[in-house]
Amino acid sequence: MNDEPLLIAEGLTKHYGRQLGCRDASLELYEGEVMAVVGESGSGKTTLLQMLSTQIEPSAGRVLYRMRDGSVQDLWTMSEPARRFLLRTDWGYVHQDPQLGLRMGVSAGGNVGERLMAVGNRNYASIRTTAADWLGRVEIPQSRIDDTPRTYSGGMRQRLQIARNLVTAPRLIFMDEPTGGLDVSVQARLLDLLRRIVSEMRIAAIVVTHDLAVARLLSDRIMVMKGGEVIEAGLTDQVLDDPNQPYTQLLVSSILPA
Amino acid sequence: MTAPVYNFAYLDEQTKRMIRRAILKAIAIPGYQVPFASREMPMPYGWGTGGVQVTAAILGPRDVLKVIDQGSDDTTNAVSIRKFFTRTAGVRTTTATGEATVIQTRHRVPEAALNENQVLVYQVPIPEPLRFLEPRETETRRMHALSEYGLMHVKLYEDIARHGHIATAYAYPVQVDGRYVMDPSPIPKFDNPKLSDCAALQLFGAGREKRIYAIPPYTRVTSRDFDDHPFEPYRHDASCELCAATESYLDEVITDDAGNRMFVCSDTDYCEHRRALGHGPVAASPPAEAVHD
Ligand SMILES: Nc1ncnc2c1ncn2[C@@H]1O[C@H](COP(=O)(O)OP(=O)(O)OP(=O)(O)O)[C@@H](O)[C@H]1O
Ligand SMILES: [Mg+2]
């Protein structure tokens, strides 16, 4: 494992017209590390995540990524095809709303297999075997491989989305509120699964959540955002047990029930 | 009879120039869908207005026009398009594939090999092969631009998962010259191999969707498939009951109220040509009349 950072963000800023989305956010993420981004609604978490994952272009700042060949590239000076290739091979993006991350009219097998086909796999049997294997790993019965996600529960859809993203063994995965909108018991199971897979595969992850319990369970490090700025960052346990900022203290005391 | 109120072949010269520019661009970028300002034609969209506009733009006074619909020269659609050009351009028409210089077609490629002096014009309802899985046009355009064609295989994957084999029988997607993935229009996949390395220029016109695309002569066209589920052209395992052809694409036609059926060539000109050469029903199979009580 390489001890250079996998992802480096420097001074990321985004204005939506006159509205500030995120100001001067910087971070370094290492291989296999899980970073949580927490903060109240409108604090800029999604904006930051979308800049990091090149879905929106920053007004200022840059994102550097260490490619599989070891070279470090500025993501916004990379060509669009290269960037899109990276997005569907070395990265994953799990949306809060699985309908945005899945093809609802395509079978589960097709959803998982799409990335394999996108990188040129032309063997049906191998695509199907790999898809079935991944369904098993996210605890979806393999008998459901030919069903579309329309027939799946919310938790299953989210797990399918995860399988679809992980099938190319990415090194980095972005997740925006992956457990949002799910029942508590369904959330717990999903979190368990995420934690297991991320540590088994040693994937680096950036997880946006406003649930501090999710952050505590999944992440090694945490960033606290407020009003578009990162106001506190550090090891998750340290920040949550002994917050520096009054705002973080408030967040911890109000959201973490005894 | 040429109606004097119309310009030659109905469209005004400026419109034809605009369409020809789109055609030239389409030929320069094989398989790429070129947008064009599709005009209202005096017929409904389902009747091949895209093909008609392409034909109108390339037709010259010495051209000989053939129009086929599902292989036949005699359907209402084929007859009315032929009449339209007889009336507006005064060109000679034919049903013989070999005599035609321009062939406008819906849903078939003629059986007879085409030559370098011919242009085949296809009527296209939906030009975008990725449409059914990705309805966003901005996204499909980007996929074409970046050759991101994984989604095309998702469609074929779904076919096999559902039916055990690639069940797509018409409009089977092809890749042109190793680059653009293209919808060959709703021809049976039996015809796909004829698109490749064809001596004639092939033009595709979609009227409602305002797109023109092309396959220049002698261009390699491959049908998309999986290594373990290779592309297979399909035809009924039978011979034509009129001309005994065993290589042509066959239509199954119902011959009477009792539901009796027979197989005949879908390409009527090909079938007639063979019969004129003395090919007839195979001795073993009963003549069509014999099935009646
Ligand atoms: N497309 C947009 N146009 C204008 N303003 C936007 C846009 N997207 C976000 N904003 C604004 O930017 C700020 C940060 O929004 P962002 O979506 O990043 O917050 P968030 O922390 O993800 O919130 P939530 O927890 O509700 O998802 C907010 O003030 C928001 O209103
Ligand atoms: Mg958000």
For the sheet containing A19-29, what is the strand order?
A19-29, A7-16, A60-66, A72-74
> What's the CA gap between A214 and A211, in Å, rounded?
5
Q: Which residue out of A13, A14, A15, A19 has the highest number of ligand 1 atoms within 8 Å of its CB and is therefore the one to mutate?
A: A19
pLDDT at A182: 87
Reported confidence tier of residue B283, pLDDT bands at 50, 70, 90: low
Tokens in use for B111? 């059986």
If you take atom 13 of ligand 1, which residue's CA is the nearest one? A21
Check A145 against B148: CB less than 8 A apart.
Answer: no
With beta carbons less than 8 A apart as the criterion, state whether B149 and B231 touch. Answer: no
Instruction: Out of B60, B240, B278, B280, pick the active-site residue.
Output: B240
Q: What percent of chain B has pLDDT over 90?
A: 87
Distance A14 CA to ligand 2 centre (A): 14
Looking at the complex, does the CB of residue A143 fall below 8 Å from at least one CB of chain B?
Answer: no
How confident is the model over B120-130, as a mean pLDDT?
Answer: 96
For atom 4 of ligand 1, which residue has the closest CA?
A: A16
Q: What is the pLDDT of residue A210?
A: 85
Q: B79-116 pLDDT, tens per residue? A: 999 999 999 999 999 999 999 999 999 999 999 999 99
Q: Which residue from B146, B154, B229 is facing A110, i.e. has the nearest CB?
A: B154
Residue B243 catalytic?
Answer: yes
Torsion angle of C-alpha atoms A233, A239, A245, A247, degrees rounded to 10 = 100
Residue type, position B155, single letter: K
Contact residues on chain B for A103, CB-CB shorter than 8 A = 133, 154
pLDDT score of B238:
94
Q: Which residue of A has its CA nearest to B226?
A: A122
Of ligand 1's atoms, which has the minimum distance to the CA of residue A48? 18
Q: What is the DSSP letter of A96?
A: S
- Token pair 């007879």 is found at B112
What was the pLDDT predicted at A255? 54
pTM, rounded to two decimals: 0.89
Q: How far is the alpha carbon of A178 from chain B, nearest alpha carbon, in Å?
A: 24
Give me B259's structure tokens: 């539901």
Q: Which residues of B16-36 are buried (b: 16+ CB within 10 A; e: fewer)?
A: bebbeebbebbbebbbbbbeb
Backbone angles phi, psi at A47, to 5 degrees: -60, -45
Name which of A56, A53, A55, A57 is nearest A65 in CA terms. Answer: A53
Inspect the interface and report whether the beta carbons of A145 and B146 lie closer than 8 Å. no
Is B198 a catalytic site residue?
no
Q: Phi first, then psi: what are they for A191, rounded to 5°?
A: -60, -45
DSSP A76: T
Q: What percentage of chain B carries pLDDT values higher than 70? A: 94
What's the pLDDT at B287?
A: 47
- Look at B153 and A119 and tell me if their CB atoms are within 8 Å: no
CB A216 within 8 A of CB A8: no
Comparing CA positions, the residue from A87, A65, A88 lying closest to residue A7 is A65
Give backbone dihedrals phi and psi of A223, rounded to 5 degrees, phi first.
Answer: -120, 135
Residue A76 has pLDDT above 60, yes or no: yes
Render pLDDT for B144-160 as a digit per residue (tens, 0 to 9): 999 999 999 999 999 99
Confidence of residue A1 (pLDDT cuts 50, 70, 90): low
Q: Helix A108-118 vs helix A80-89: angle between axes, to the nearest 10 degrees?
A: 140
Who lines ligand 1 at CB under 6 A?
A 16, 19, 21, 39, 41-47, 210
pLDDT tens track for A5-30: 999 999 999 999 999 999 999 999 99
**Are residues A42 and A225 in contact, defined by beta-carbon separation less than 8 angstroms?**
no
Backbone phi and psi for residue A204, each to the nearest 5 degrees, phi listed first: -80, 145
Residue B8, helix vs strand vs coil: coil
Nearest to A146 among B151, B162, B228 (CB): B162
The pLDDT of residue A257:
45
- How confident is the model at residue B72, as a pLDDT? 95
Q: Which residues of B105-134 are buried (b: 16+ CB within 10 A; e: fewer)?
A: bbbbbbbeebeeebbbbbbbbebbbbeebb
Of B36, B206, B43, B53, the residue nearest B124 (C-alpha): B206
pLDDT of residue B290: 43
- Going by alpha carbons, the residue nearest to atom 2 of ligand 1 is A16
- The one-letter amino acid code at B68 reads I
Question: Which pLDDT band, with edges at 50, 70 and 90, does A253 fall under?
Answer: confident
Q: Measured between CB atoms, does A124 come within 8 Å of chain B? A: yes
**ipTM of the modeled complex:** 0.90
State residue A140's pLDDT score.
Answer: 96
Read off the pLDDT of each residue in B15-39 and give the average, rounded to a whole number.
Answer: 97
Residue A157, sorted as left (phi over 0), alpha (psi -120 to 50) or beta, turns out to be alpha
Confidence grade of residue B1 (pLDDT, cut at 50, 70, 90) = low
CA distance A206 to A208: 7
pLDDT of residue A254: 76
Q: Is pLDDT of B30 > 80?
A: yes
Average pLDDT for B169-177: 97
Interface residue ranges in chain B relative to chain A, Cβ cutoff 8 Å: 133, 146, 148, 150-151, 153-154, 157-158, 160-162, 225-229
Residues 6+ apart with CB under 8 A from B202: B119, B120, B122, B195, B214, B215
Rounded Cα distance, B231 and B171, in Å: 13
Ligand 1 pocket test target in A14, A16, A59 with most atoms within 8 Å of CB: A16
What residue type is assigned to position A241 of the chain?
D
- Residue A73: exposure state from Cβ atoms within 10 A (0-12, 13-18, ≥19): middle
Shortest-distance atom of ligand 1 to CA A20: 12
Mean per-residue pLDDT over chain A, rounded: 94
**Count of C-beta atoms within a 10 Å radius of residue B285:** 14
| Per-residue pLDDT band at A258 (split at 50, 70, 90) | very low
Per-residue burial over A207-237, b if 16 or more Cβ lie within 10 Å, else e, is bbbbbbbbbbbbbbbbbbbbebbbbbbbebe
Return d(Cα A175, Cα A193) in angstroms, integer: 14
Cβ-contact A94, A175 below 8 angstroms: yes
How confident is the model at residue B281, as a pLDDT? Answer: 85
Nearest to A113, CA basis, from A98, A100, A101, A130: A130
Give pLDDT tens digits for B222-255: 999 999 999 999 999 999 999 999 999 999 999 8
Predicted confidence (pLDDT) per residue in A130-179, tens digit: 999 999 999 999 999 999 999 999 999 999 999 999 999 999 999 999 99
Report the alpha-carbon distance of residue B37 to residue B43 in Å, rounded.
17
